[in-house]
Amino acid sequence: MASAQLPLLPVPRLKGHIINVASVPQRSPFRYPGGKTWLVPYIRQWLSSLPARPCEFIEPFAGGAIVSLTVAFEKLADHVTMVELDEQVAAVWQAVLGKHGAELANRIISFRMTPANVESVLSEPARSIQDRAFQTILRNRVNRGGILAPGAGKVKNGEAGKGIKSRWYPLTLKKRILDIGTIRDHMAFVHGDGMKMMRKHAYQPDTVFFYRSALHGRGKTSRKPSVFALGT
């Protein structure tokens, strides 16, 4: 069956209401200000409007993966596949959706958050997927804006003057990671090129793809998403 691009719902309102991002369950261990959380209500409505529940939901540029996690937890598709090329982000999903989620969660709980300990962990070469996953979560939580790129500055004052501790919620992170582990049989992760994944599965029946495009205009990034539904 030929592939087709299906439009998402009108932005920025959903059925006449402004979206309250705080009302969307936070399921990802990542923090990405300006991420895809605000899209979740649209995704729910879009998938619910389809004639049948998709057999496969693929997010080719997963990042923090709040959309994929929502689809999986709320059973909006039979199976969810996340794709991510970035090595650091991929390590987290490989650990969480593999056999090392509990190990990562326990490492987060046992870590003593101090500037010296942060520097010690981040300066060490990663010797395993688990090491890289922990370093990524740590970097995402102590860097300003959750930026993972080399040279990113660390949080100084943070919330209520807590400094680098202001975004470090070990119990919350542990719960999110372990919760994801309960549905991992319905999910898969691919460390690879999202565009190749889309081409590979473009004509697979009952499969939908989601990605958010960054459309630029007047010096700002538009929040207009692009959603592909292929082979449905």
- For residues 178 and 217, state if they share a domain: no
- For residues 181 and 91, state if they share a domain: yes
pLDDT of residue 70: 95
- For residues 3 and 56, state if they share a domain: yes
Count of residues in the chain: 232
| pTM (two decimals) | 0.84
In terms of residue numbers, what domain contains 111? 86-191
- For residues 91 and 179, state if they share a domain: yes
Please state, rounded to an integer, the average pLDDT across all residues of the chain.
84
Give me the number of domains the chain comprises: 2
Lowest mean pLDDT among 52-66, 156-170, 216-230: 216-230
- For residues 178 and 202, state if they share a domain: no
- For residues 136 and 220, state if they share a domain: no
Q: Can you tell me the distance from the alpha carbon of 214 to that of 219, in angstroms, rounded to the nearest whole number?
A: 12
- For residues 225 and 153, state if they share a domain: no
Q: Can you tell me the distance from the alpha carbon of 93 to that of 100, in angstroms, rounded to the nearest whole number?
A: 10
- For residues 40 and 62, state if they share a domain: yes
β-strands 226-230, 4-5 pairing: antiparallel
- Contact between 225 and 5 (Cβ < 8 Å): no
Please say if the pLDDT value at position 194 is more than 50. yes
Contacts of residue 59, defined as CB under 8 A and 6 or more positions apart, other chains included, come to: 65, 67, 68, 80, 81, 82, 83, 209, 210, 211
Lowest mean pLDDT among 104-118, 180-194, 212-226: 212-226
